[in-house]
Structure 1
Amino acid sequence: MPASLSERLAQPGLIVAPGVYDMVSAKIADRAGFDALYMTGFGVVASHLGYPDAGLATYSDMVGRVRQIAEGVATPLIADGDTGYGGLLNVDHTVRGYEAAGAQAIQLEDQEFPKKCGHTPSRRVIPLDEAAHKIRVAAAARSSKAFKIIARTDARTAHGLDEALRRGEAFLKAGADILFIESPETEEEMRRIGSTFDAPLLANMVEGGRTPILSRSELESLGYKIAIYPVAGLLAATAALSSLYGHLRSTGSSAAWSGELAAFSDFVRMIGFERVWDFEKRNAV
């Protein structure tokens, strides 16, 4: 069994967590041997609902996907909890629900509702006192301190790095376990974040986003403990599907497509057909 997230945080080295958004992506990532998986709100809202990550998903939409993924993988799951889906009572309910669903950490942010993807424009944050109170409620709601509270601030884009750092300090005092300063725009800003805090830091590596994509060694040297890649898998899958479907539309066949297909036999085993076949053999009449 993989180490729990709490155990892994106490060990040296960067935790690399790929973004998962459905059960196929989750099972592939689970088999790859990562230390943690990241259930991306951006990806879940896009794949499950076909909507942009703009506050349109509800707690019910998301907690069901948390439970489904957590039950289907062995790797510890970090789950995006957006703003907590409402006021303080909603935050309490969301933390309890995500923990009961099997996640090992929840990410909560300080945006106004409706929230927006952290690498898109026009994000606004709630007052600092209100945001810190949410983190205090979240920390008190969990049944075990092994369930980690990741506090995210989106203040950098609209209010500058100093305000984001100020909020980070307040969130740690309020009980956050892991700090997520969203959307630093240079490596130097990331270095300043790493030198400011004596706490586990999360880096959000979004291809095409505001933050530079750095190597494992670079992130470790800057003081980061976790690196999430929330959209890399989704973008790769989208590119592959676009290419294949375009080829099918133009030629009428998958023959001679230049991309790579997983072996059908490998896929049916990954998705669990062997258990079905064994069950049918044991219960043949």
Structure 2
Amino acid sequence: MNLFSNGQDVGKRREAFKVALAAPEIARLPGAFSPLIARSIEEAGFEGVYVSGAVVAADLALPDIGLTTLTEVAYRARQIARVTELGVLVDADTGFGEPMSAARTVSELEDAGVAGCHLEDQVNPKRCGHLDGKEVVPTELMVRRIRAAVSARRDPNFVICARTDAAGIEGIDAAIERARAYLHAGADMIFPEALHTEEDFRYFRAALPEAWLLANMTEFGKTTLLSAELLEDIGYNAVIYPVTTLRIAMGQVEQALAEIKEHGTQEGWLDRMQHRSRLYELLRYEDYNVFDQNIFTYKKGADDA
């Protein structure tokens, strides 16, 4: 086992990710805000990992309004892809600029070792998909973004997903027409953002029976939370939980800090913490220790001369 990478060829990870998308069972992709979370997602038995643009921004204490850069997103994506054998899908916002920027984005994310990304049809700079006040670009401009991204792709197994935010602005039928255009431009999968109800998800699926579709189950937004089982029954290929792990972690952190401030000790939280031994398991601490001891005790032999 290589301790400093996931040990699996990136091409094989991308192939496995596409197989998961094509399978009858829905691919569940929890969001990871750090490499350690990605490793937890893998050990929990999920089919993939998602890297949310909103979470990358939040982890930098920034709002999700297009302030993060391609460099920041690609760097975090590379860190996460390094530690997991699961395919990693990355939120690439609008491609960080014009269509040529979208092409460079795909090239950088391929180099980062991820399995795919999604590009959206919002005006640049974008806003969180579940906020009001969004604007979308003309369909023709988004088509150029997708074509540029597809033209820059070197590995045909790298998934290019097109997200449309048009449902809440132009209506669901307009979003469906955009989705058809994006598929024709070369997108592998469609992500209809901020659909409201189960009926919306069913309507979108019925209109695009052959397309791979991704559902977003984010908390506190415009979408009714639907189970993975129901989404699978409707016919969705993948579901993301983009901010869930961050919200869980931050909720616990704020409660614990308040208690420590009030009582002057963290003792009341010991049974709610991840134990040191479990953290060391996730970090593969013992494997590093063995590696270090083998190197430290190495002695040059006759065959090494």
Normalising TM by the smaller chain, what interval?
over 0.9
Hey, what's the Cα distance between the residues in 1 that align with 2:279 and 2:99?
A: 43
- In structure 2, relative to structure 1, the CA distance for the partners of 1:164 and 1:253 (3 Å cut) is same
Could you tell me how far 1:131 is from its partner in structure 2? 0.6
Hey, what's the Cα distance between the residues in 2 that align with 1:100 and 1:134?
A: 19
TM-score by length of 1: 0.95
After superposition, give the CA deviation of every residue in 1:45-71 in whole Å (9 maximum; x if it has no partner): 111x11011100000111111111111
Counterpart among 220, 226, 240 of residue 252 in structure 2:
240
2:54 counterpart of 1:42: yes
Partner AA of 2:217 in structure 1: M
**5+ unaligned residues in a row in structure 2: which ranges?**
1-7, 298-305
Aligned to 1:119: 130
CA contact (8 A) 2:100 2:145 kept: no
Partner AA of 2:35 in structure 1: M
Which structure 2 residues correspond to residues 181-260 of structure 1 after superposition, within 5 A? 181-197=192-208, 198-257=210-269, 260=272
2:131 counterpart of 1:131: no
Aligned to 1:271: 283
After superposition, give the CA deviation of every residue in 1:135-194 in whole Å (9 maximum; x if it has no partner): 111112111221011000111112111111111110011001100111111211111001
Which structure 2 residues correspond to residues 35-74 of structure 1 after superposition, within 5 A? 35-47=47-59, 49-74=60-85
Could you tell me how far 1:32 is from its partner in structure 2? 1.3
CA contact (8 A) 1:40 1:231 kept: yes
Hey, what's the Cα distance between the residues in 2 that align with 1:24 and 1:200?
A: 29
- In structure 2, relative to structure 1, the CA distance for the partners of 1:106 and 1:83 (3 Å cut) is same
CA contact (8 A) 1:195 1:223 kept: no
2:99 counterpart of 1:84: no
Larger radius of gyration: 2
CA contact (8 A) 1:240 1:259 kept: no
2:42 counterpart of 1:30: yes
Could you tell me how far 1:82 is from its partner in structure 2? 0.6
- In structure 2, relative to structure 1, the CA distance for the partners of 1:103 and 1:284 (3 Å cut) is closer
After superposition, give the CA deviation of every residue in 1:89-134 in whole Å (9 maximum; x if it has no partner): 1111000110111111111001111111111111101111011111
Hey, what's the Cα distance between the residues in 2 that align with 1:124 and 1:258?
A: 47
Hey, what's the Cα distance between the residues in 2 that align with 1:145 and 1:239?
A: 40
Partner AA of 1:16 in structure 2: R
2:95 counterpart of 1:109: no
Partner AA of 2:143 in structure 1: A
CA contact (8 A) 1:244 1:259 kept: no
SS, match of residue 257 in structure 1: helix
Hey, what's the Cα distance between the residues in 2 that align with 1:283 and 1:134?
A: 49
Hey, what's the Cα distance between the residues in 2 that align with 1:205 and 1:280?
A: 43
Hey, what's the Cα distance between the residues in 2 that align with 1:284 and 1:135?
A: 51
Query: How well do the aligned residues superpose, as a CA RMSD in angstroms?
Result: 1.5
Aligned to 2:274: 262
Could you tell me how far 1:261 is from its partner in structure 2? 1.0
Q: Mean alpha-carbon deviation: is it higher for 253-262 or for 90-99?
A: 253-262
Could you tell me how far 1:258 is from its partner in structure 2? 7.8
CA contact (8 A) 1:76 1:103 kept: yes
TM-score by length of 2: 0.89
Could you tell me how far 1:209 is from its partner in structure 2? 0.8
Aligned to 1:169: 180
Same amino acid, percent of matched pairs:
35
Hey, what's the Cα distance between the residues in 2 that align with 1:273 and 1:56?
A: 36
CA contact (8 A) 2:164 2:192 kept: yes
Count of residues in Structure 1 that have an aligned counterpart in Structure 2: 284
CA contact (8 A) 1:16 1:227 kept: yes
Aligned to 1:98: 109
Aligned to 2:4: none
SS, match of residue 193 in structure 1: helix
SS, match of residue 73 in structure 2: helix
